[in-house]
Structure 1
Amino acid sequence: MCAGGSAAQVDLSQLPLHAIVEAPQQGRVKDVDRTIVAVSENGIYDAVNHLNRLRHAGDGDPQATLDVYVRRLEALRRAGLVERVPEGKWRIPADLIQRTQQHDARKTTARVIELRSHLAIEQQVRAIGATWLDRKLVTDAGVARQGFGAQVCDAMQSRVDFLCEQGLAERRGHRVVLARNLLVTLRDRELAAAGKSLRDQTGKTYRPLLDGQQANGIYQRSIQLVSGRFAVLDDGVSFSLVPWRPVIEQRLAQHLSAVVRGVSVTWSVGRQRGPSI
């Protein structure tokens, strides 16, 4: 079963029962890579231009859709396959498709299983937070109506009912209209609750991050939420919750900076301008 979201190598023995994982398919060109090449002009992918295209195409959650591409580009940048240039742009090689196929084939040899959600699908139905089911709804990805796919289809319908109760979706006949920026809205609701809980525990002020705002502080620990794993950045007076990435785990107890845009994040070492990680 394929889905959006952050991929991470996992040890199956460490996963909770009924967690959702994916076994990547070898040799398959990813749709995200095809689109990156298709919307690039003169070898440059421009995130702002792509966002405008998504809006004009009537995408239900254009920012969340764009974040999928940005995460992929950041992964390819770290692998040395694309180059990030200023103002939300990336330099794309002419043979990107061939390079990504070779790169993904090498990764698949070493990383067979990717975690998609630590929650079972029945736990996601009424959860406050951006779930795997929500990502399936936003991307409108097809699901086989057999076996586990049938369970997913039923759970997605129940999730829509819950979103309607929350004012985040509306049924119009056979159509479902999701609230704009659904994933970000769900994530922010969960973060507000988690921030309040940590504030009560620590006595420090929770500082939610606005889109594009920079967070600075000591990376103290990470917490697992419905919306994913988040790093606690503490500046001594207040703290922020920032989307966690595996690359920062080696930086525990160090001073880091992060900028969050939508559901994507760029991490840097140091207080402001440092090498991106």
Structure 2
Amino acid sequence: MRVAPRNTEPRQVDRAIAGIAAAHDGRYSIDIHLKYDPSATERFAETHVRRLEAIRRATGGVERKPNGTWIIAPGHLERVGGYERQRARAEPVAVDKLSSMPLEQQVRFDGATWIDRELVAERPAAFRDSGFGREVQEAQARRRQWLMAQGLSHEEQDRIIYRANMLSMLRQRELNRVARQLSDELGLTYTEARSGDRIEGTLRRSIELASGKYAVVKKSREFTLVPWRPVLERHIGKEVSGIMRREGISWTIERQRSGPSVS
């Protein structure tokens, strides 16, 4: 957990939402975001959706359409400022959950962890040399040793050099391991989703991994795991289809097999 005084100014995520919506007739969605900024990832865009959902629940100041598109009215940043000031009066400090996995468990975990993301971050968080801060520093040092033993980093002139694809390799390791477990549980063959593949089947459930949330999509004899999107929450058990791409999937969700759908 990270504890800090609550900032009442709009965040960068709010400014990004307002800017994208202004360029798209007051509309915002993950698909719109990814087309507007090709360098953005689906996971990054999902943080913007979670922010909008929190504001909607607290104030009703934004509107979400059934297809997952958000209507962002002019003056959005002013409303966000009011929302933050209201929160600051009720909760003067902000507590952020950094990871659901205990720090000690992350040291030797065969998957992408919060420690890894901090180690390769352009601007990693600063920790005090006491209490929890010292625990983090010690865990980071032990994680560095584990990563070097795994061949994912090496020391060069008193610096640790991490492999460029280290996080993606660790994510894939965890995904493969969980897929094998699910294959035994479901009695189905696991099929890896690759860019360009069409994903079709029944949305069974979600699973939470250290690297993020995934959807379990089942066909008659096989299943696949694909990145989760918040719009899927209300559609467990329904037929879904979409095209896998680098940034994620643009889903189509069937209300009935022969009925209308939303994406």
Alignment TM-score, normalising by the size of structure 2: 0.67
| 1:147 paired residue number | 131
> Aligned partners of 1:97 and 1:176: how far apart in 2?
41
CA contact (8 A) 1:220 1:253 kept: yes
Show the counterpart of 1:254. Answer: 238
Residue 207 of structure 1 corresponds to: 191
Q: 1:181 offset after TM fit, Å? A: 3.7
C-alpha distance in 2 between matches for 1:219 and 1:235: 9
Q: Does residue 275 of structure 1 match 2:258?
A: no
Q: Which whole-Å CA distance do the structure 2 matches of 1:221 and 1:201 have between them? A: 13
Change (3 A) 1:68 1:256: closer
2:47 aligned partner:
72
Contact 2:152/2:163, CA 8 A, preserved across alignment:
yes
8 Å CA contact 1:43, 1:93 repeated in 2: no
* 2:8 paired with 1:27: yes
Q: Is it true that 1:119 corresponds to 2:101 in the alignment?
A: yes
Q: Deviation per CA, 1:124-173: give whole Å up to 9, x if none.
A: 11111121112222324222223212211221222222222222223323
What secondary structure, in the 3-state scheme, does the structure 1 residue paired with 2:203 have? strand
2:9–2:84: 8 Å Cα contact kept in structure 1?
Answer: no
**How many angstroms does 1:123 deviate by?**
0.2
- The DSSP-based 3-state class of the residue aligned with 1:249 is helix
Change (3 A) 1:228 1:75: closer
| Identical columns (%) | 31
1:181–1:202 Cα change, 3 Å? same
Say if 2:199 and 2:242, in contact at 8 Å, map to a contact too.
yes
* CA positional deviation for 1:103: 5.2
Q: With the length of structure 1 as denominator, give the TM-score of the two structures.
A: 0.64
- Alpha-carbon spacing, 1:218–1:94, altered in 2? closer, same or farther (3 Å): same
Tell me the alpha carbon deviations over residues 183-207 of structure 1, each in whole angstroms, 9 at most, x when there is no partner. 3321111111111222233332211
Cα gap change, 1:229 to 1:75, in 2 (>3 Å) = closer
CA deviation profile, 1:43-84 (whole Å, cap 9, x unmatched): 4797578566xxxxxxxxxx7xx556422344467668699x
Rounded Cα–Cα distance in structure 1 between residues aligned with 2:180 and 2:73 = 45
Match of 1:133 among 115, 118, 132: 115
Shift of 1:249: 3.5
Say whether the 8 Å CA contact 1:71–1:264 is kept in structure 2: no
Cα distance, 1:43–1:181 mapped onto 2, change above 3 Å: farther
Contact 1:24 1:114 in 2 (8 A): no
Conservation of the 8 A alpha-carbon contact between 2:192 and 2:225 = yes
Shift of 1:122: 0.8
Question: Matched residues in 2 for 1:81 and 1:175: separation?
Answer: 47
Contact kept? 2:207, 2:213, Cα under 8 Å? yes
Is the alpha carbon distance of 1:238 and 1:100 closer, same or farther for their aligned partners in structure 2, counting shifts above 3 Å?
farther
Cα RMSD after superposing both structures: 4.2
Q: How far apart are the structure 2 equivalents of 1:95 and 1:236? A: 49
For 1:159, the equivalent position in structure 2 comes to 143
How many Å separate the matches in 2 of 1:128 and 1:74?
Answer: 29
Which consecutive residues of structure 2, in runs of 5 or more, have no partner in the other structure? 25-31, 65-69
Structure having greater relative contact order (Cα 8 Å, sep ≥ 6): 1
Distance between the aligned counterparts of 1:24 and 1:255, measured in 2?
45
Q: Aligned partners of 1:275, 1:257: CA distance in 2, in Å? A: 11
Distance in 2, Cα, partners of 1:51 & 1:176: 30
Deviation at 1:91, TM superposition (A): 11
Q: Is the 8 A contact 2:202 2:217 kept in 1?
A: yes
Q: 1:219 to 1:144 in 2, by over 3 A?
A: same
For residues 193-232 of structure 1, the aligned pairs below 5 Å read 193-211=177-195, 213-232=197-216
